[in-house]
Structure 1
Amino acid sequence: MIAPMAKIQIATRPAERDLLLAWLQDEEILHIHEVPNTTEAARTQTGYELAELQFTLEFLQRVRKATNASPKKSWRNLFVNKPAASLKTLNQTLAALNMAELTAQAHQLHESLNSIEADKEKIQHELDMYAPWQHVHLTGKELAQGRHHLIHRLLFIPARYQEAWLKSLADIPTASYQIVSPSSQKNTLPIAYEVIAHRQDEKALTASQAAGNAQAVTLHLLPNESISQKISSIKHRLQKNEQATKKTLTQATSLFPKEESIKFAYDALLHKVEREAANQKIDSLPHTAVLTGWIPRAWCPAFTRRLHGVFPDALAEEIAIDPTDKPPVHFVNNKLIEPFESVTNLYGRPGYQELDPSGPLALFFLLAFGLALTDAGYGLVLMVGTVAAEKFFRLKRDMKKMTRLLFLGGVMTVILGALTGGWFGITLETLPPGTGKNILLAIKILDPITEPMKLLGLAFVIGIIQLMFAWVVKATHMWRTHQKIPAILDNVPWLIIVSVMMA
């Protein structure tokens, strides 16, 4: 269910405001009330430092991706990004870290890599321009001036204009051509041609280019430099570029040992930024600092006692909720329903005045999960795997909920798998005679292989029950929230119609 929230106002001496914010942050109890603010919050030094560390971490991720280097983790921390650490440890790490030098080094390496990658793109583009002509044995002088009375043209002809161009070229008696690089895809990519003709036919050759929508290619070569030599020179530059990339990445990997400290420092700054953001929401008076926030109403007495124990001069009281307020949503469910909150969160949390579907969906989710597998053996494997994961690995809170959800799904899979005779896909009738076989056959009440229509009918019945149950739950919630007439008109007719259809 969604916990009823109370709007709490805390007043304390201005000298204690920072200590109060730090304590509330550590307790993780109070959700600070969002105060509408039309002006953009000023950028603080802490925010700048946080952005710098975030940039450094993103740069390290880029380096790891480029070098295929995975961060080393202990098996226990396999499912978390970093080891657990107290706020005191985070602050100590932040104080010991030379942030200015570290971020400056990251920026320098980042700019070097960007420059090298930009050069690589230019070199690769140049190589792509020369590559189609690598088998043409001409120098820069020959391309520019031709040989004796001959002229040379390097042309790209679109595939769809090739036939028209060849016809126009046939009218030039001195023209000759060869395909240098054919198109690999019909009627899509242009075809590279080398064309030779006598100088007296230069105008006719130019006219044929227009007929074939040809693109003349100009290669920038030294007078005595051949195309193959130019390509070799470009490839050499590309190799030097790759060497520069490797050298820069190697320098960047020297930051890897500091990555955990950077993450700790980042978390410490994140805590500090949150406190500064909360500090802006405190109304400061000459002798009082006032903070407004939300807390589950059931926690109010215990919260007040703990607050007075730490801050004797502080005063906390519940104030009226404004109709325009949007209280935060906090789930309060028993341990059996808690795992299903992960399913609710997956599709989006309900509004404060809406219904928490975690409880109502629990049984039907498990039934659907079990029917999807219907193999008790796989269910046992799932149960053992989830128990082992929770025992031996350090899991985040949401991952723990998901693990327990899968455990419950495994339990339901074992039950439905046993009832349908599913044990690792083994046909029970083929087992050797014995007590075990007799027990398994006695538990089995439905064979989905020989009786598929019964299983389909069972799934259909469960679906109808789930649909009707949803209408009942919706009507009950609307009735409790004083929407009695809509509760009846929106849900009861559907219940009657479906009941009559199924009768």
Structure 2
Amino acid sequence: MAVSPMLKVQIYAHLSEKDRLIERLQDTGAFHAVNFHENYAEADLVSPLSDQEAPARQLEDILSSVQFASNYLAEFEQPRGMLSKLSGTKILLSPEEYGRITREFDYRQVVRKCENLSATRAHLAAEHNRLSSLQKELLPWTPLDIPLEQLRPTRSADLFWGSLPIGNYSRLESELSELTDQFELVRVNQDERRDYILLFCSKEFSPQVKESLAQLDFSESSPVELKGTPRQILKELELELSNNLLAQQKAIEESKELVAFRPQLLVLIDHYSNLLQQKLIQANFARTAQTFVAEGWIRKRDLPSFKKSIETEFEAVRVLPAEPLPGEEPPVLLENTRLVEPFQMITDLYGTPRYFDVDPSLPLAPFFVISLGACLTDAGYGVVVALLSFLALRLFRFGQGTRRLLQVCFWGGLGTIVIGILTGGYFGINFDSLPPSFQSIKILRNRFMLFDPLKNPLIFLEVCLVFGFIQICVGLLIRFYRNLRDGMFLDGILDQVSWLAILNGAVIFALSKAGVVGPGAGVLGKWMILPGMATVVLFAGRANKNIIARLGAGLFSLYGITSYLGDVLSYSRLLALGMATSVIALVVNTIASMVSHIPVVGMLAMLLILIGGHLFNIAINLLSGFIHTMRLQFVEFFSKFLEAGGKEFKPFRKQYQFLLVAPKE
């Protein structure tokens, strides 16, 4: 539950040390650079990047070519299975292997071959499309025995060849007969939709013939500079298409042979990306004729070792503390224990907290686990979720995001086991229908079960609402703690304690009226509500100097009680999701029991339905549980104390998208 303390520093160095120092800063991975020119616009200083534009463009060109080759070869890799995709694709290398590849691998030759093969395949594909189109166009003219080179207009006659919709042929023949007898109309072929025709007519009547053809939806065939009859040309096209496919296959085989070099290309992508960042980060620096300065943030605990290592290694470099500018907030780095750290994923999805906020990850964790467990309400399902998450974490390598997700699922599975035991849910089994031989199991189940959600849904609803009320009060207490920490004690009393008094007083008063607690507690609740409401009315609008405006704002703020009521009622979604899980599990078991009596295949069908049905129920309700539980945290919980909008701490470091560089054991 900690936002790591940050200190602002400025690094002054001689220009001769620039490249080596930047590489060292990237290796250290502790310095979050800020733009010096934005903070000190009045300073007449030049960015060192002006000297690095050409090297940066060169690195961008190299990176672009290597990425092209990698993306091209990815098409020919063997498809990976689902588990392989989930486990990540990072390549494990020792520092020595990494250095050897970056020094010795001739990427230019591989890139050149990939570019040539890509261009060849593109040309062959375009040629194949051209030939296929020509083949399709000539196929209806196969019955024509006249060489195409002889189909030409003469001095006195025009030639029209193409196709008409079925039914228009006779109309054309009739119109031509009325126009002139100086024509020759030949139907060469016919398919389901069109007639393919040759039409010779006197040039004297060509304009009228063209008009008639246009009205009859005549489609003229494209003239082709080919020789021979359509049948002869089609045979040649078939041979050309066959050779084209062979050439394409050869290019594919040559591409597959290059796939073995893709891991080295991925290494170089990461390598040149890091080198490019060394150039681009200099846009944040400023320089004089002989020196340059870099400004940024570093974790407070890292500063002594960082300063000592840099100043010891570089004689002409000094690391000095700097005062933040007015209104400037440090970047935010959340630090938690191993148990809480996975739940930072939920916080990150909501947004980075501001530097002076309270890290919500710790108070979020138990509420998230309990809410997710309430959505599943089945101990058997909890065992499955926890076990699968544990095995996945043990057997596969994942990126940070997937690893955190699986850890949250693991804790959610454990929470589901506890809630499932308390609600008596075990794979949707109807214990009332079990034979007497299972009586001991029913007794053991009932010993730990507090209530059955399907038989007592109102009790489950009450539990969900009480749970939601507690979480909302915790949110207000966290905001009160922050106000105390920041020295705003009065704000905490007026803004949070007042509402805590109203809400808890209302609950106590309602319980008194329901006879759950005595009349004395009701009086206590009433005297909690009245001072709390008076405080809200008098001081919620204290920012207004006008007394009427202040009271008006206070009265309007008092309407916020409906918002708190809505927030509490929102937790009824846990009831809906928990009961949906139980009911679907019960239905799966019922269907499996019904098909078990089918001769021969009954038992197999029952097993398939049980396994498939319960796995589907787990998956769909785990997804629904995640979505609705996150919604409760974001809307009902975080809104009480958290202000997103902070800047994430992003130190300048080597980043590996495809690699994991570590000494081999």
Fold in common (TM above 0.5): yes
Alpha-carbon deviation of 1:332?
2.1
Q: Which moved more, 1:79-88 or 1:167-176?
A: 167-176
1:253 equivalent in structure 2? 256
Do the aligned partners of residues 467 and 47 (structure 1) sit closer, same or farther apart at CA in structure 2, a change above 3 Å counting?
farther
Tell me whether 1:277 sits opposite 2:272 in the alignment: no
Alpha-carbon deviation of 1:339?
0.7
Alpha-carbon deviation of 1:319?
0.8
Distance 2:125 2:484 in 1: 65
The one of 171, 192, 195 equivalent to 1:193 is 195
Tell me whether 1:64 sits opposite 2:74 in the alignment: yes
Give SS of 1:6's match. Answer: strand
**Conservation of the 8 A alpha-carbon contact between 1:153 and 1:216:** yes
Q: Equivalent residues in 2 for 1:345-360 (5 A)?
A: 345-352=348-355, 356-360=359-363
Alpha-carbon deviation of 1:36?
4.2
1:431-457 deviation line (CA, Å, top 9, x unaligned): 542544422233333434444565456
Distance 2:142 2:468 in 1: 70
Give SS of 1:218's match. Answer: coil
Give SS of 1:380's match. Answer: helix
- Give the total of aligned pairs: 484
Do the aligned partners of residues 221 and 59 (structure 1) sit closer, same or farther apart at CA in structure 2, a change above 3 Å counting?
same
Tell me whether 1:400 sits opposite 2:409 in the alignment: no
1:26-73 deviation line (CA, Å, top 9, x unaligned): 2221112234489886544465345434433443433332x3534899
Structure 1 unaligned regions, length at least 5: 183-190
RMSD: 4.4
**Conservation of the 8 A alpha-carbon contact between 1:2 and 1:332:** yes
Distance 1:286 1:142 in 2: 80
The one of 426, 431, 446 equivalent to 1:428 is 431
Do the aligned partners of residues 324 and 120 (structure 1) sit closer, same or farther apart at CA in structure 2, a change above 3 Å counting?
farther
1:151-208 deviation line (CA, Å, top 9, x unaligned): 8742355xxxx88x589548448679799454xxxxxxxx533347785897776444
Distance 1:137 1:458 in 2: 86
The one of 447, 452, 463 equivalent to 2:452 is 447
Tell me whether 1:335 sits opposite 2:338 in the alignment: yes
Alpha-carbon deviation of 1:333?
2.5
Matched AA of 2:23: A
Give SS of 2:121's match. Answer: helix
1:96 equivalent in structure 2? 104
Give SS of 1:84's match. Answer: strand
**Conservation of the 8 A alpha-carbon contact between 1:221 and 1:230:** no
Distance 2:63 2:7 in 1: 37
The one of 48, 59, 65 equivalent to 1:55 is 65
Q: TM-score, normalised by structure 1?
A: 0.77
Tell me whether 1:83 sits opposite 2:83 in the alignment: no
Matched AA of 1:395: F
Do the aligned partners of residues 172 and 259 (structure 1) sit closer, same or farther apart at CA in structure 2, a change above 3 Å counting?
same
Aligned-residue sequence identity (percent) comes to 20
1:186 equivalent in structure 2? none
Matched AA of 2:9: I
Alpha-carbon deviation of 1:294?
0.9
1:434-483 deviation line (CA, Å, top 9, x unaligned): 54442223333343444456545655555565556556656765786669
Matched AA of 2:427: F
Q: Equivalent residues in 2 for 1:73-472 (5 A)?
A: 79-87=87-95, 89-130=97-138, 133=140, 137=144, 139=146, 140=148, 153-155=161-163, 157=165, 168-169=171-172, 171-172=174-175, 180-182=190-192, 191-195=193-197, 199=201, 206-220=210-224, 222=226, 224-226=228-230, 228-279=231-282, 281-284=284-287, 289-307=292-310, 310=313, 314-323=317-326, 325=328, 327-352=330-355, 356-431=359-434, 432-433=437-438, 435-452=440-457, 454-455=459-460, 458-459=463-464, 462=467, 466=471, 470=475
Q: Equivalent residues in 2 for 1:8-27 (5 A)?
A: 8-12=9-13, 16-27=17-28
Give SS of 1:342's match. Answer: helix
**Conservation of the 8 A alpha-carbon contact between 1:77 and 1:393:** no
Distance 2:57 2:112 in 1: 17
1:375-400 deviation line (CA, Å, top 9, x unaligned): 32232222222223333333333333
**Conservation of the 8 A alpha-carbon contact between 1:304 and 1:316:** yes
Matched AA of 1:315: R
Matched AA of 1:261: Q
1:299-358 deviation line (CA, Å, top 9, x unaligned): 434544554565577533321112475643311233332111222333443454666443
Distance 1:464 1:383 in 2: 28
Distance 2:278 2:80 in 1: 31
Give SS of 1:293's match. Answer: strand
Do the aligned partners of residues 97 and 449 (structure 1) sit closer, same or farther apart at CA in structure 2, a change above 3 Å counting?
same
1:187 equivalent in structure 2? none
Q: TM-score, normalised by structure 2?
A: 0.60
Q: Which moved more, 1:331-340 or 1:301-310?
A: 301-310
Do the aligned partners of residues 117 and 455 (structure 1) sit closer, same or farther apart at CA in structure 2, a change above 3 Å counting?
farther
1:255-278 deviation line (CA, Å, top 9, x unaligned): 222222222233233332233334
Matched AA of 1:108: N
Distance 2:128 2:350 in 1: 44
1:32 equivalent in structure 2? 33
Structure 2 unaligned regions, length at least 5: 39-45, 178-184, 497-535, 542-555, 570-665
Distance 1:71 1:99 in 2: 25
Do the aligned partners of residues 423 and 319 (structure 1) sit closer, same or farther apart at CA in structure 2, a change above 3 Å counting?
same
Distance 1:89 1:46 in 2: 26
